Structure 1
Amino acid sequence: MRFAGELVPATLIRRYKRFLADVELTDGTIITAHVANPGAMTGLQTEGARVWLSKSPSLTRKLPYSWELVEVDFGRAQELVGVNTMHPNPIVAEALAAGVIPELAGYATIRREVKYGRIINGKGSRVDFLLEDPAKPLCYVEVKNVHLMRRPGVAEFPDSVTARGAKHLDELAEMVATGARAVMLFVIQIGSASSFALARDIDPAYGRAFDRARAAGVEALAWTCKLTEQDIVLGQPVPIEP
C-alpha cells in the first residue's frame, strides 16, 4: 500500500481525545492532525517523537493532516511503526490479490465488507474479507491491527479493551460451525516483531474469546509489515505464542 503523496515529517507535542494530535512541523508551525486510532497507543505517543503525516487534497476537510507513522525504539533500534488502523485492510487486500499469504491463496474471488453473523438490535457485522471458490468452503477473514510492543520482538493485541473484537471471534466460530473456514489475521505494523501474543492482562475477555474460537476451529495468523515513508506492505509470518 503506497501512501497517496509524500509524507510530511513533524514532532509530536501531544495526542488527546483519542483522535487528535498536536504536532510541530519542521518550519515551526503547530497544527492539529487526525489520529485514525481508537486504541491506547501505548509507547507510541511520547512527546517529542518524530512522526510522519499525510495531507489530504480535500479543500473542505477540517483536519487536512493525518498521523501515519512514528519512529520508536522498542529496545533494539529506532524503527517506523504504523499508527493508522485503517491501513491493515488495504495492505491485506493487496497481499490476497498477489497470493502472498499461502493459507489464503487459490480462491477464485475476494469480496470485502460482507455482512455475516448475528443480527443484534437490527445490526449485524461485516467480515473484512470473504474468499470464495467453487472447489472450497467459504473462508471468512477478519483483520486486526497490531501496534503494541511491551517486550522487544513480541507484538501484542489488543492495546485496550475491545468488546467488538471478542464479538467478532465468536461470530467467526459460528461460521466454522456451518462448515466454512474462518481466519483471524493479525497485521503487525512493526517490522521488528518476531512473535505475537495476546495481551491477556489488558483484556481478559478477549483472551477467553480467542481461546473459545481456536477450540472451535478458527485459524489464527500473524504477519509483520515492512514500513517505509513511501509504503507499507505485508512482511513475513511470525509464530503466535500460547
Structure 2
Amino acid sequence: MEFHPQLQQATLIKRYKRFLADVVTPSGEELTLHCPNTGAMTGCATPGDTVWYSTSANQKRKYAHTWELTETQNGDFICVNTLQANNVVKEGLRENLFPELSGYNTILSEVKYGAERSRIDFMLQADCKVNCYIEVKSVTLSQQGCGYFPDAVSLRGQKHLRELMNVVLQGERAVLLFAVLHSAITQVSPARHIDAKYAQLLCEAQQCGVEIIAYKAELSAAGLTLTSPLPVCL
C-alpha cells in the first residue's frame, strides 16, 4: 500500500488530548496534527521523534494533517494510524498474500454479527466453504523485540474474542490476525502485564478453535505492506 500523496516530514513536539499532536516542520512551521490512535502509544510518541503525516484536500476538516508514521530516534518505523491496519490487510487478502486465508472469492467488510452487536473486520466467503470471520488488531507496542497487544486495557478487544469463540461454536471459521506495524517486533504475545483478562481470553479462544496469526509489515515513508508471518507466543 503506497501513500498518495507523498507523506511530509516533521519533528514531534508533543501528543495531547489523545487526538492531537504538535509538530515542527523542517522549515520551522508549527502544525497541529490529527492523531488517529486512541491507545497509549507507548514508545510511539516520544518528543523529538520524526513524524510522517498526510494532508487531506477536504476543506471542511478542522485539522487537515493526519499523523501516519513515527520514525523513532533509533530508526524504527511504526504505523500509528490504526485505520491503516485494515487497509493493508484488505490489500493482502485481495493479493492472496496469506496462505492460511486462500481459497475464498468474496471479501466483505464491516459485517454485523454476534450476540454483543459487533462488526467483523472481514468476512471471507466461497462456495462449499464455511464463512471465515477475521478480526484485525494492530500491534505497535514493542518491548525488547516482542510485540504486545493490547497497549491498554481493552474491553472492546475482550468482547471481540468472545464473539470469535461463538463463531467457532456455531461451526464457522474465526481468525484473529495481528497486523504488526512496528519494524522492531519479531514475535507477538498478549500483554498480560497490561490486560490480564484479554490474555486469558486469548488462550481460551485458541483452545476453542480460533486461529491466531500474525503478519509483519514492511514500513517506510513510501508505504506499507504485510510481508512475513511472525510467531505468536501465548
TM category, shorter: over 0.9
What percentage of aligned pairs have identical amino acids? 44
Q: What SS is found at the alignment partner of 1:187? A: strand
Instruction: Measure the CA separation in 1 of the matches of 2:132 and 2:194.
Output: 29
Q: What SS is found at the alignment partner of 2:44? A: coil
Taking the TM superposition and a 5 Å limit, the aligned residue runs for 1:1-242 are 1-72=1-72, 78-119=75-116, 124-151=117-144, 153-242=145-234
> Is the 2:142–2:184 Cα contact (8 Å) retained in structure 1?
no
Q: What SS is found at the alignment partner of 2:232? A: coil
Q: CA deviation at 1:25?
A: 1.0
Q: CA deviation at 1:192?
A: 3.2
Q: Which runs of 4+ in 1 moved over 4 A?
A: none
Q: What SS is found at the alignment partner of 2:175? A: strand
Q: What SS is found at the alignment partner of 2:41? A: coil
Instruction: Measure the CA separation in 2 of the matches of 1:41 and 1:237.
Output: 23
Task: State TM-score, norm by structure 1.
Answer: 0.94
> Is the 1:115–1:126 Cα contact (8 Å) retained in structure 2?
yes
Q: CA deviation at 1:34?
A: 0.4
RMSD: 1.0
Q: Which ranges in structure 1 are unaligned for 5 or more consecutive residues? A: none
Q: What SS is found at the alignment partner of 2:87? A: helix
Question: Which amino acid letter does the alignment assign opposite residue 90 of structure 1?
Answer: N
Q: Is the alpha carbon distance of 1:150 and 1:192 closer, same or farther for their aligned partners in structure 2, counting shifts above 3 Å?
A: closer
Q: Which ranges in structure 2 are unaligned for 5 or more consecutive residues? A: none
> Is the 1:191–1:235 Cα contact (8 Å) retained in structure 2?
no
Q: What SS is found at the alignment partner of 1:87? A: helix
Instruction: Measure the CA separation in 2 of the matches of 1:182 and 1:191.
Output: 27
Task: State TM-score, norm by structure 2.
Answer: 0.97
Instruction: Measure the CA separation in 2 of the matches of 1:32 and 1:72.
Output: 19
Instruction: Measure the CA separation in 1 of the matches of 2:130 and 2:58.
Output: 42
> Is the 1:44–1:72 Cα contact (8 Å) retained in structure 2?
yes
